[in-house]
């Protein structure tokens, strides 16, 4: 049983790493910045082009990258990279019918 829990945790970490890599790629596409400079705590204050229009463009790139769509509440919650990952993960769980 303990092995199975470890496998799930490792699988969850791998999935999160893949999700984070795709989110960073969307940041790169949107703002033309090095993905390595982005942290989970990155906010619009850290990225000059991340203004209201940049936020919309980022959301559009994320929607295309993950095959999801965001509503206004999602967009409002996406105030840093960590929250963006949380929102995307939540959407993916609903789309794929899995619990995250």
List domains and CATH numbers for the chain.
2-96 (1.10.1200.10)
One pLDDT digit (tens) per residue for the chain, 100 residues: 444 444 444 555 657 889 999 999 999 999 999 999 999 999 999 999 999 999 999 999 999 999 999 999 999 999 999 999 999 999 988 655 444 3
Mention every residue, 6+ apart, whose C-beta is less than 8 A from residue 84: 23, 62, 78
Number of H helices, E strands in the chain: 4, 0
């Amino acid at each position: 049983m303990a092995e199975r829990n470890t496998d799930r945790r490792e699988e969850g970490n791998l999935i999160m790493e893949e999700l984070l890599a795709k989110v960073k790629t969307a940041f790169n596409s949107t703002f033309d910045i090095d993905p390595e400079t982005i942290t989970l705590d990155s906010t619009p204050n850290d990225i000059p082009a991340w203004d209201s229009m940049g936020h919309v463009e980022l959301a559009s790139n994320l929607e295309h990258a993950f095959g999801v769509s965001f509503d206004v509440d999602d967009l409002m919650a996406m105030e840093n990279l960590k929250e963006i990952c949380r929102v995307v993960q939540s959407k993916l769980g609903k789309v794929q019918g899995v619990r995250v």
